Amino acid sequence: MLPWVEKYRPKRLKDIVGQNEAIEQIMKWIEDVRAGKKVKPLLIYGPAGTGKTTAAYAIANELGYDIVEINCADLRDKEKLNRVLGGLGSFSLIEESPRIILFDEVDALPAEGKTISSLLKEILSRGDMPVVMTANDVYEKHMYGIRNLADTVEFKKLGVRDIVKVLSKIATMEKVNLPEEAIKKIASGSDGDLRSAINDLQSLAEGSADLVNYYGKIFGQRDREADIFRVLGSVFSGKYCTRTRFLTSTLDMDQDMFMRWIEENLPIAIKDPPSLSLAYEYVSLADIFRSRIVRTGNWKLMTYINEFLTLGVCSAKSLSKSSGFVKFKFPSIIKELASTKEERAELKDVLRKIAKNTHTSSNVVRKEILPLIAALCKRNKDLMRKIARDIGVEEDQLESIIESIKI
C-alpha cells in the first residue's frame, strides 16, 4: 500500500499549502527558465516536512522536464561523488527531454563542502540544466558558499490550521473516521511538519498505533523519569550533599532540562522562604553560568552549574525544616512553552509585520501599537479587515491576537 505522503503529494505548485510567498518566487524562476534565461540555482530551505522536495518535483512537472535527484547525504565519499559527476557528464551525449537536477539536503554535505561548490560551478558553466537544491538550514557557516551562488526561497513551518485542513481532506478521501480532536492533536503535535503529521494520521488510521499510544508519544519520556526521580530524591533529601554532584553523570538528560526539573520542584520540596530563596539563588547562578558559557565558550564552567544544582540546592534543603514525602512534578513550563509555541510564533510574526509597516520594532509594537490597534478595532471590524490586509496577515489571526489584549 502506498504511503499517504506519496499518494497525496501535490503534483502542481499551486497545490502546495502554506507557502504562498515562496511559490510566487518559484513561479518567477520557472518563467525565467521557460524564457531561456540563464538562471541561478534555486535553493529551497526550511524545516522538515514543509514541502521542499515536493516543490522540486512540482517544478520539474510544471516545466515538463525529467528530474535527476541526487541525495547529498550519499555524496559523502569521494568515489560516489565522482560517479555522479561522470554520470552527469554523459547526459549531454544522449538526446532526450531536458533535465532538472535536484540536490536534496545540501546541508548534509561535509563541512569542507568544496566538492559541491565545484560540482555546482561545473554544472552552471554548462548552463543547460537548471538546478534546484533543498536544505534545512542555510545560515550554517559551511553553507555560505552555496547560499551565495543561489536564489534562496524560504519555506516556513506550517500552521496548525493548514495541517488540519490537509489531514481532514485526506481523512475524508480515505474514509477514515477520526474525531476532530484527534486530528487537531496530531496537527499541533507535529510542530509544523506536514509529512510527520500525515504519517501519524496513517498509522493511527491503520491501527498500528492507538490514540493512547499516540498521546503517550507526545508527552512521554516515561523511561527517562525513573532516573530523574532518583536524582531529585537525593538532591532534595538534604543529606550527603557533596556526593549528590556525581549523580548527574549517569542521568540521560541535558543540563538545561535538569535545571528545569530542579526549578519546578524547588517550591514543592522546600517550603520555608529563607531556604527556598537560597536554593533559588543557586539555580539563578546556574542559569547565569549557562549564559556565560554560551557567550564565552568557556566550557570548564560546566562543572559549577552541576554543583550549584546538586550540592547547592541540597545544602539549602539541609537548612530547611520541612520534610515528608514529596511527589515530584514534570517541569510544567516546558509543557506550557510547547503548547503555546504556535500562538507565540504567530504573535511574533504579526508583531514583525506591523513593525515593518510602522517603521518601528516588534518591541514597540507590542507595548504601544498593538494595544492601540486593539482599541481601534474592537469597535470597528472593517478597520480590522483593512489593517490585516495592509500588513499581510489573515483576518482571524489578527482578530485572535486583538481579543487576547485587555484594554
Partner 1 sequence: MFELWVEKYRPKRLKDIVGQDEVIEALTGFVEKRSMPHLLFAGPAGTGKTTTALALANEIYGSEELVSANYMELNASDERGIDTIRVKIKDFAKTKALGEVPFKIIHLDEADNLTSDAQQALRRIMEMYSSNVRFILACNYSSKIIDPIQSRCAVFRFNPLTDDAIIKRLSYIAEQEKIQIGDDGFKAIAYVAEGDLRKAINILQTAFAVAKGKISPEIVYKISGLAMPEEVNDIIRLALEGQFLEARTSVRNLMINYGISAEDLVRQLHRQILQYDGIDDVKKAEIVSYIGEIDFRLAEGGNGDIQISALLSKIASIGRGSHASVG
40 lines the binding site for partner 1 (CB under 8 A): no
318 lines the binding site for partner 1 (CB under 8 A): no
The length of the chain is 407
Contact indicator for 40, 150 with CB cutoff of 8 Å: yes
Say how many residues touch partner 1, by CB under 8 A: 65
66: enclosing H helix or E strand: strand 66-71
What is the smallest separation between the CB atom of 336 and partner 1, expressed in angstroms? 6
Which stretch, 80-88, 191-199, 202-210, 286-294, contacts partner 1 (CB under 8 A)?
286-294
302 lines the binding site for partner 1 (CB under 8 A): no
153 lines the binding site for partner 1 (CB under 8 A): no
- Tell me the C-alpha distance between 94 and 273, whole Å: 81
Which member of 216, 233, 273, 392 binds partner 1 (CB under 8 A)?
273
404 lines the binding site for partner 1 (CB under 8 A): yes
Q: 136: Cβ–Cβ under 8 A, 6 or more apart, which residues? A: 45, 46, 47, 48, 105, 107
Question: Which amino acid belongs to residue 301?
Answer: L
- Tell me the C-alpha distance between 300 and 281, whole Å: 21
Q: 296: Cβ–Cβ under 8 A, 6 or more apart, which residues? A: none
Which cell numbers hold the place of 362? 516588534
Which cell numbers hold the place of 236? 532534595
277 lines the binding site for partner 1 (CB under 8 A): yes
Which member of 76, 383, 392, 395 binds partner 1 (CB under 8 A)?
383
The residue (of 92 and 380) whose beta carbon lies closer to partner 1 is 380
The residue (of 25 and 168) whose beta carbon lies closer to partner 1 is 25
Contact indicator for 346, 159 with CB cutoff of 8 Å: yes
- Tell me the C-alpha distance between 121 and 22, whole Å: 25
Tracing cell 517550591 back to the chain, one arrives at 267
What is the smallest separation between the CB atom of 33 and partner 1, expressed in angstroms? 21
- Tell me the C-alpha distance between 397 and 346, whole Å: 8
Which member of 83, 121, 337, 381 binds partner 1 (CB under 8 A)?
337
Q: Which residues of 145-161 are buried (b: 16+ CB within 10 A; e: fewer)?
A: bbbebbebbebbbbbbe
111 lines the binding site for partner 1 (CB under 8 A): no
Contact indicator for 25, 153 with CB cutoff of 8 Å: yes
Contact track, partner 1, 67-106, x by CB under 8 A: ----------------------------------------
Which stretch, 74-82, 110-118, 209-217, 355-363, contacts partner 1 (CB under 8 A)?
355-363
Which member of 319, 323, 395, 396 binds partner 1 (CB under 8 A)?
319
Would you tell me which residues interact with partner 1 (CB under 8 A)? Answer: 139, 147, 259, 263, 266-268, 273-285, 287-288, 291-292, 294-295, 312, 316, 319, 333, 336-337, 340, 344, 347, 352, 354-364, 366-369, 371-373, 375-376, 379, 383, 386-387, 390-391, 404, 406-407
